[in-house]
């Protein structure tokens, strides 16, 4: 069986992508509004204390309850990193590769928060 060759990626010397996992007490998250506030605070804190670039996109990549904590994984990418992620999502763009995402699916790498 022949494996498909990945599409060549354009070289970008400064593509930045970082995933940060952070946590909040389950007691602080009682409804969707408090969860949204907590995520906003975690994004702000991670931007200020963890990453050293200005992101153009932030995405929640996972939420998991572990004991009395809610773990939230956040993906940060600058414009070049976002373009790289899109290339990884659709490596066959322009080469007649796999069909587009079926109707009703997101088509995005991750649900994104534009900033």
pLDDT tens by residue, 7-47: 555 554 688 999 999 999 989 888 889 988 988 998 899 99
Q: Is residue 104 a part of any domain in this protein?
A: no
Helix (H) or strand (E) holding 46: helix 32-49
Structural domain boundaries enclosing 76: 28-91+110-115
Contact 109, 89 (CB under 8 A): yes
Contact 36, 59 (CB under 8 A): no
Domain count within the chain: 1
The end-to-end CA distance of the chain, in Å, is: 44
Neighbours of 18 (CB within 10 A): 16
To the question of pTM greater than 0.85 for the whole model, the response is: no
Residues across the chain:
115
Q: Is residue 9 a part of any domain in this protein?
A: no
């Amino acid at each position: 069986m022949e494996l498909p060759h990945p599409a060549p990626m354009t070289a970008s010397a400064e593509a930045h992508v970082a995933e940060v996992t952070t946590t909040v007490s389950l007691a602080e998250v009682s409804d969707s509004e408090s969860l949204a506030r907590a995520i906003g605070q975690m994004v702000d804190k991670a931007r200020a204390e963890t990453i050293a670039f200005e992101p153009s996109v932030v995405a929640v990549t996972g939420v998991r309850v572990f004991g009395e904590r809610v773990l939230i994984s956040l993906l940060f990418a600058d414009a070049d990193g976002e373009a790289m992620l899109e290339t990884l999502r659709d490596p066959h763009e322009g080469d007649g590769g796999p069909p587009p995402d079926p109707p009703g699916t997101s088509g995005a790498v991750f649900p994104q928060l534009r900033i």
